[in-house]
Amino acid sequence: MDTDAEVRAENAARTSYGRLLALLAARTHDVASAEDALADAFERALTRWPLDGVPDDPDAWLLTVARNRQRDRWKSAAERTTVPFDDAEHDGAAPEAGRDRRLELLLVCAHPDLAGASVPLMLNTVLGFAAAQIGAAFLVPTATMAARLTRAKKRIARDRIPFEVPGPTDLAGRLAPVLEAVYGSYAMEWPTPPRERHALLLGLAGTIADAAPSVAEAHGLAALLYLSSARLPARVDEDGRYVPLAQQNPRRWDRDFVAAGHRHLRTAHAFGSVGRFQLEAAIGAVHCARGAGEAPDWAHLRRLYDALLGLAPTRGAAVARAAVVAETDGARAGLDALDALNGVERLQSAWALRASLLDRLGDPAADAAYAKAISLTTDPAEREYLGRRARGTGR
C-alpha cells in the first residue's frame, strides 16, 4: 500500500471538496446527488491510488469518476449497464477540473428562496462542515440542522436555481450571507491545518472581492482575513508553543499579507461606508502596526471596538473590548468591564482574560479562572500556554 497516495487522497478531500462539488452540482442543480457521487469518487481514490499510483491530475480524476457515478445513477433500470466504469480510462479526462465555480454555488445557497438556510448550506456544501458541526455553531440539534440542509438542497434541485453570478444589483443583495458564511467558518473547528484553512478562505475572499469590486464589505472581509493570516507564522514559536498576539515577534508576520490587507482596507474605506468586517480589519491593522515599530494605539482600538459593538454586538467583541479597557484604564477597570457582560460564562476568551487580569492584580482567584479557561480550550498549544501561565512559568 502507498501511504503517500492515501495522504494525497485525503489532502484532495480537504482542499478540493468545495470546488469539485460546485462543478458537479452546476450541471444538474442536484447538490445531494453531487455529494453522493463525490463521496464515491473519494472512496474509490482511497482504494485505487495506493495500488495504482496518484494520477497526474488528481482533481480531474476525481471529477471524472464522480461524473461517471452520476451518469450511472441517472440511467433507468432498463438501460443501466452491468459493466463497471474503468476509472483509469478517464484519467485526466476532465479539462474543466481546474475551473472554480464555488462562488456560483455560494450564490445559489444565498438565493432569496433559501433565506434562513443560506449560511448553514454554504458551510456544508462549499466549506465541507458536517451537520453536527453546523448545528453546534447555531445551537440547533444535529437532526434539525440535517433536515434543514436536506430541504434546502431539494429546493435547489426542484426550482433549478441557476448557477451563475448575477448582475451587480442582485449580486450585492446576495453577498451578505456569503460574507457571513466565510467569516463564520474562520472561527469553527477545522480538520485541516491552519495554513490550509487560511489559504482556502483567502482564496474565497479574493474571489468574492474580485466579483464585487464595488462592495465595501467584500474588501473589508478580505482585509480582515489577510491581516489575521499574516500573523499565523508567529502564533507558535520554534518549539510549537502558543504565543499570544502581544508577545508575537512582528518580524515573523507575513509582510505581503499585511500589505494586501491594507490595500483591501483602503479600497473599502474609499466607498465611505462603515461595516462590521471593515471595523474588524481596522482593529487588525492597528495591531499589525507593531510590524512598523509602532506601539498599539489602545485608545484608537477602544474607539474601534465601541463602533463595532454598535454595529455587531457580539460576546467575543465585548470581551475583546474589556481587554482593551484593561490597557487604557488598568486591570481593575478591565475586570469591571468583563463583569458587566452577560452570557459569557461558557466563553473561553472571557475566562482566559479574567485569569490574566486577576493574575495582574495578584488575586489568588486567578488559579480557578485559569483552570476554567483551560477546560474550555480545544487548541493544544493554547492549553499548554495557559497551563504554564497558571503555574507561573509563562508569566
From 195, 221, 252, the end of a domain falls on 195
This prediction has a pTM of 0.88
Range of the domain at 120: 100-195
Dump pLDDT digits (tens) for 309-328: 999 999 999 999 999 999 99
Q: Count other C-beta atoms under 10 Å from residue 249's C-beta.
A: 12
Whether 73 and 136 map to the same domain: the answer is no
Q: Is residue 346 part of a domain?
A: yes
- What is the CATH classification number for the domain harbouring 359? 1.25.40
Whether 67 and 119 map to the same domain: the answer is no
* CA distance linking residue 128 with residue 372, whole number of Å: 31
From 133, 166, 195, the end of a domain falls on 195
Dump pLDDT digits (tens) for 46-57: 889 988 888 989
* CA distance linking residue 230 with residue 222, whole number of Å: 12
Say what the pLDDT of residue 98 is: 64
From 195, 228, 248, the end of a domain falls on 195
Say what the pLDDT of residue 158 is: 95
Return the closest-CA partner of residue 386 out of 241, 233, 245, 194.
Answer: 241
Return the closest-CA partner of residue 105 out of 35, 52, 162, 146.
Answer: 162
Residue 148 is placed in which grid cell? 434543514
> Does residue 76 register a pLDDT over 70?
no
| Percentage above 90 pLDDT, the chain | 74
Whether 121 and 93 map to the same domain: the answer is no
Whether 21 and 92 map to the same domain: the answer is yes
Dump pLDDT digits (tens) for 239-287: 999 999 999 999 999 999 999 999 999 999 999 999 999 999 999 999 9
pLDDT confidence band for 393 (50 / 70 / 90): low
What is the domain count for the chain? 3
Whether 62 and 115 map to the same domain: the answer is no
Task: Please provide the average confidence, as pLDDT, over all residues in the chain.
Answer: 90
**SS3 assignment, position 162:** coil
> Does residue 58 register a pLDDT over 50?
yes
Q: Is residue 39 part of a domain?
A: yes
Q: Which residue has the cell 482566559?
A: 352
Say what the pLDDT of residue 81 is: 47
pLDDT confidence band for 83 (50 / 70 / 90): very low
